[in-house]
Each structure stands twice: as structure tokens, then as C-alpha cells.
């Protein structure tokens, strides 16, 4: 007799969080560097390689810039960043805004698509995707956008104190 637990499938184990952080700031272009540096400093706990750290900083920079340029356009809003470090050496970063949202996420993620005019290259999501191991974008027009990125770091974390 089967007890019904798991329905004969392997249960997915939840990854253990070893640390997390949250920060928010105004959508000023001068704060892009702050967001990038905050996540890089947090990720440094996992002792990433220089290349891994550079990848993280580039992806975060693109996501924060999207909030500043596209989500809030010519107004000030708040950019929210949360980051988690997992025992398996994975970093998860969520960058969220409460801006205008994206009507068609699939189209927005296509390389060279932009709503920012000729001065914009339309490569932000492509850059994020190429530098991170996972990218998910959820958006609701008029309510905002959340970009979730994952990066698996080659080095294993040191014992957490």
C-alpha cells in the first residue's frame, strides 16, 4: 500500500539558504553602481572567481539600468534588490521595480528589441542571459517587473558561521 506521499516521484529538496540580503534605492542613474557593488560584495562571501564576479556585476548593472531607463522613464521610483546565497554555491538575485511593466516579455527579451529609442541597443536581457546561468522575467503592465537571475559559482562556500 502506498501512503500517497510523493506519488512515487522523487521529492525535490529545498536548497538551504546560507545568507540573504535586501536593499532598495531610488532609480537615479548614479545608483546603478551602488546596486552592482552591493550584490558583488554580497556574492564575495562565496569566494567567486574574478570572471564570475564580473559576470554578476554586468548582469546586475543591466537589470538595474533597465529599471532606471525603462520602468520609471522620466520619473523617480524605487529599485528593489534581494539576493540569496545557497549552500550549493548558487547565487540568486531578484531585481524588481513598480514601474510601467512590460507588455510583451517574450518580445522584450529578443536581442535588439528596444523601446528606448535609437540610443538603446536592446541587448540588456540578452546580456543578462549570457552572463548568468538562469534568467526569468515576470511583468505586469502598470505594476512592474521582476528579473530573477541565478549564477552557480565554481567554488564551494566555506563553512558558514
Active site amino acids: 62, 66, 120
CB 130 within 8 A of CB 64: no
C-alpha separations of 13 from 6, 88, 151 in Å:
12, 12, 19
CB distance 97 to 103 below 8 Å: no
- Find residue 151's DSSP bridge partners: 91
Strand partners, 140: 144
Amino acid at each position: 500500500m502506498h501512503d500517497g506521499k510523493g506519488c512515487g516521484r522523487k521529492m525535490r529538496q529545498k536548497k538551504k539558504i546560507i545568507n540573504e540580503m535586501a536593499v532598495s534605492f531610488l532609480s537615479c542613474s548614479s545608483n546603478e553602481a551602488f546596486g552592482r557593488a552591493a550584490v558583488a560584495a554580497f556574492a564575495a562571501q562565496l569566494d567567486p572567481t574574478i570572471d564570475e564576479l564580473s559576470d554578476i556585476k554586468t548582469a546586475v548593472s543591466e537589470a538595474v539600468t533597465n529599471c532606471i531607463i525603462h520602468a520609471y522613464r522620466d520619473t523617480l521610483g524605487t529599485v528593489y534588490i534581494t539576493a540569496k546565497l545557497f549552500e550549493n554555491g548558487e547565487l540568486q538575485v531578484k531585481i524588481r521595480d513598480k514601474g510601467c511593466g512590460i507588455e510583451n516579455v517574450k518580445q522584450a527579451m529578443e536581442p535588439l528589441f528596444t523601446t528606448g529609442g535609437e540610443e538603446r541597443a536592446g541587448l540588456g536581457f540578452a546580456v543578462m542571459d549570457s552572463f548568468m546561468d538562469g534568467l526569468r522575467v515576470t511583468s505586469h503592465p502598470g505594476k512592474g517587473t521582476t528579473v530573477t537571475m541565478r549564477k552557480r559559482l565554481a567554488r564551494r562556500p566555506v563553512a558558514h558561521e
